[in-house]
Amino acid sequence: MSFHPSHTPAVREPAPSPVPVTTILTPAERSAVDAAGEGLYRTMHRTSLDEVRRDLRDQSATAVLVSLACCTPRDAIRMAAILREHPRVPMMGLVTNAERVHPQSLLSLGRSGMRIVIDARDSTGWHLLRETVATADRGSFTIDSAIADLRVKLLAAGDDCLALLELFFTATPAVHSVRRIAEQVSVHPGTLMSRFQRAGLPPIKRYLDLANLVRAAHRLEDPGRSIADVAISLEYSSPQSFGRHVNLVLRMTASAFRTAYDCEGMYRRFCDDVILPFKAQLVAFRPLRGATDDAT
């Protein structure tokens, strides 16, 4: 069975992805903050600093917004620790009702290192919020950047090919086996591996291994994260397992990997190894087609 598109899709620049912001807000503040950030940021509403810290450690958030109405003086110590771990992440306090803010909380948070307070009682506060988020340091290159670039490089590729490649970068939790990937796309592992082989592509495991190292390189850009922490966050069984993986794929130690590759550099290695030399094959590749197609 073959499929021929009726027209060539128009070239479109990828839309910039909304900035992920992790928050601790009152219920009334959540809707106002969501409305103010439409098209610019997406919120992940949390109820504790532990959840905020997890978002930052997983690099799923690039800015923090905390309602001062939700803070106590004791929170300042934990906020200071978060700021030390993630000095490039903007940490913002939000004021919508001064009567609900404990004066001591404001002083304590100031001492913790929080330098940006959004006074949302007038429009200038909302403007400052948007401006701060828009200029947040998201790094020179992120996983979203990699996916957007991949879509441009493989503009003529089928949706299922792009979806599978993107899954290598975005699977949560991270996946390291063909079996687990096959389960997520509802294709038998043997069938999936066979499709890569018949298409003249490198083994699917090679794509998966390199994509996971792109994710690791991105997380290791954060100076507050150890190799062991990144290894565990990406579902390696141990830091030693991660080290063996790096050595097997790149023939270097985990420490050398951290020094040699940032996210963009590792993504370029991914493209040089398994994308650019096989661009024609990938454009024609339909890895998730129906099982009946295998018989034709």
Instruction: Between 3 and 238, name the one with better pLDDT.
Output: 238
Q: Which percentage of the chain shows pLDDT scores above 70?
A: 88
As a whole number, mean pLDDT of residues 72-84 equals 83
The 8-class DSSP code of residue 137 comes to: -
pLDDT surpasses 60 at 280: yes
pLDDT surpasses 90 at 252: yes
Angstrom distance (rounded) from CA 162 to CA 175: 17
pLDDT at 115: 75
Q: Does domain 19-134 have CATH number 3.40.50.720?
A: no
- Do 19-134 and 143-295 have matching folds? no
Domain ranges of the chain: 19-134, 143-295
**Residue 281 — very low, low, confident or very high, per pLDDT cuts 50/70/90?**
very high
The three-state secondary structure class of 263 is helix
Tens digit of each residue's pLDDT (9 = 90 or more) over 147-181: 988 998 999 999 999 999 999 999 988 999 999 99
Q: Which two tokens stand for residue 46?
A: 């949390």
Whole-model pTM?
0.60
Instruction: Report yes or no: 71 and 103 within 8 Å, Cβ to Cβ.
Output: no
Instruction: Between 191 and 103, name the one with better pLDDT.
Output: 191
The 8-class DSSP code of residue 40 comes to: T
CATH code for the part of the protein at 143-295: 1.10.10.60
pLDDT at 83: 81
Angstrom distance (rounded) from CA 100 to CA 148: 43
Q: Considering the chain, what is the average pLDDT of its residues?
A: 86
Instruction: Report yes or no: 177 and 239 within 8 Å, Cβ to Cβ.
Output: no
pLDDT surpasses 80 at 2: no
**Residue 51 — very low, low, confident or very high, per pLDDT cuts 50/70/90?**
very high
pLDDT at 3: 39
Instruction: Report yes or no: 172 and 55 within 8 Å, Cβ to Cβ.
Output: no
pLDDT surpasses 80 at 246: yes
**Residue 90 — very low, low, confident or very high, per pLDDT cuts 50/70/90?**
confident
